[in-house]
Amino acid sequence: MVTEVVKAKELQKLDPVFGQLSFDNHEQIVFCNDKDTGLKAIIGIHNTVLGPALGGTRMWQYNSEWDALNDVLRLSRGMTFKSAITGLNLGGGKAVIIGDAKTQKTPELMLRFGEFVHSLGGRYITAEDVGMMTSDMDLVRTVTPYVTGISEEKGGAGNPSPITAYGVFMGMKAAAKYKFGNDNLEDKVIYVEGIGNVGEALVEHLSNEGAKVFISDLSQDRLEEVRDKYGVSIYEGNNLYAEDMDIYAPCALGATVNNKTINTLKAKVIAGAANNQLADEHIHGTQLRERGIVYAPDFLINAGGIINVYAELENYGKQEIMRKTENIYNTTLEILSNAETNEITTHEAAFHIAQSRIDTRKKER
Ligand code: NAD
């Protein structure tokens, strides 16, 4: 493994673009630049074997453009496997806009971004992610049909976050069943990191079920709002990972299971909404397995949102959305036992099933 990392780093020096550690046979990367509106965006199309590359747009103030590229590469790849394992006829794509969504997101910038999406002729279809709202997608819709996550008033399936949270809740219950022998989360100590659109909706499910919920977020206002609404506790310490807990639910950004946190983690189950929770799928997936921590693969249990937006393309209704999302419970249980039987990580088990669906379709073409 060490040799592989050294080799990858050498390659990165020689080939700083395709040699990026996160480059993984991506089909196309599009850099979108517009000085007039201040738009700097990157669209990543990872794979279109199963269908057009669908994935949300994230607006974030990255430390560097390389960080933004790395993020879009990792996120778009994750979308390929998310749609594949969920049985959707979609490929994997994602977009990032570099900037602060609170201060730099203007209608002009979003419209210009929409024009770039349109120029790809449907190979990439966008939706919302961190920093985006349904109203942003409604605006993008005025310049391109290649957008989902549209408001219900405009004929779309509405905000996907509550459905994502419901899917995460299903996946978490399945992981609890697997680890504790029972999927009832009453009295389970659960830490939800990030109480944005998805995190808050997850907190609602958990508190309805009687779990002991602790929340953390960068925004003190959000913390107080969510605490007051659901009667949960705000985490006051400075090392959440090392707290005694039954379940850790990462619902902020990715890579929180990393070299720094992995050995301090006390959770028995990890199940959350964030994409790319493992900084290194192989290394950290293996370490979790060795430590007996049940990890419900992120791209499997956070698929509710994509199921919701896919309904806009396939014209299915709320009932079918809920049925497909509820099925995340069964798929999670299958993947967890598959991993145990085959002595592989849960991430690998999910990944292999997704990859074999793509390979089969590729052969058929
Ligand atoms: P959001 O922007 O509404 O919420 C993210 C929250 O995390 C914010 O409140 C932010 O303050 C907080 N946060 C950021 N860094 C933090 C940190 N270090 N510690 C604690 N809190 C922190 O985003 P969202 O739509 O709720 O999505 C959450 C995660 O789930 C993201 O990783 C997203 O990619 C993933 N996801 C979302 C959907 C969806 O339907 N919205 C679908 C699949 C995956």
In 3D space, the residue among 196, 278, 217, 255 whose CA is nearest the CA of residue 67 turns out to be 255
Q: Residue 353's pLDDT is what?
A: 94
Place of tokens 């960068």: 218
Q: Residue 23's pLDDT is what?
A: 85
Catalytic residue among 9, 13, 40, 94: 94
192 lines ligand 1 (CB under 6 A): no
Q: Residue 104's pLDDT is what?
A: 98
Place of tokens 């890579």: 255
The number of residues making up the chain comes to 365
274 lines ligand 1 (CB under 6 A): yes
CA 111 to centroid of ligand 1, rounded, Å? 24
Of 11 and 236, the one with more pLDDT: 236
**Taking residues 114-128, what's their average pLDDT?**
97
**Taking residues 90-118, what's their average pLDDT?**
98
CA 1 to centroid of ligand 1, rounded, Å? 31
Q: What is the pLDDT of residues 35-57, one digit of tens each?
A: 999 999 999 999 999 999 999 99
Q: Residue 10's pLDDT is what?
A: 66
Bridging pattern class, strands 269-270 and 247-250:
parallel
Q: What is the pLDDT of residues 288-311, one digit of tens each?
A: 999 999 999 999 999 999 999 999
303 lines ligand 1 (CB under 6 A): no
- Give me 305's structure tokens: 């949102």
129 lines ligand 1 (CB under 6 A): yes
pLDDT band at 8 (very low <50, low <70, confident <90, very high): low
pLDDT reading at 19 higher than 80: no
CA 154 to centroid of ligand 1, rounded, Å? 25
Q: What is the pLDDT of residues 161-216, one digit of tens each?
A: 999 999 999 999 999 999 999 999 999 999 999 999 999 999 999 999 999 999 99
- Is the pTM for the entire model greater than 0.75? yes
Q: Residue 22's pLDDT is what?
A: 81
CA 84 to centroid of ligand 1, rounded, Å? 23
Ligand 1: residue of 54, 164, 300, 309 to mutate (most ligand atoms within 8 A of CB) is 164
Q: Residue 195's pLDDT is what?
A: 98
Q: What is the pLDDT of residues 335-356, one digit of tens each?
A: 999 999 999 999 999 999 999 9
- CA dist 164 and 199 (Å) reads 10
Q: What percent of the chain has pLDDT over 90?
A: 90
Of 89 and 7, the one with more pLDDT: 89
CA 298 to centroid of ligand 1, rounded, Å? 13
164 lines ligand 1 (CB under 6 A): yes
Q: Residue 3's pLDDT is what?
A: 57
Burial of 355 (0-12, 13-18, 19+ CB in 10 A): middle
Protein residue closest via CA to atom 40 of ligand 1: 161
In 3D space, the residue among 164, 28, 49, 157 whose CA is nearest the CA of residue 95 turns out to be 28
Residue 94 known to be catalytic: yes
127 lines ligand 1 (CB under 6 A): no
pLDDT reading at 110 higher than 70: yes
Q: What is the pLDDT of residues 310-335, one digit of tens each?
A: 999 999 899 999 999 999 999 999 99
Average pLDDT, the chain: 94
Structural domains for the chain: 24-76+91-154 (3.40.50.10860), 161-303+330-354 (3.40.50.720)
**Taking residues 273-279, what's their average pLDDT?**
95
pLDDT reading at 142 higher than 90: yes
- CA dist 22 and 93 (Å) reads 14
Question: Which residues share a beta bridge with 97?
Answer: 41, 59
φ and ψ at 143, to 5 degrees? Answer: -115, -10
Place of tokens 């509820």: 326
pLDDT reading at 5 higher than 70: no
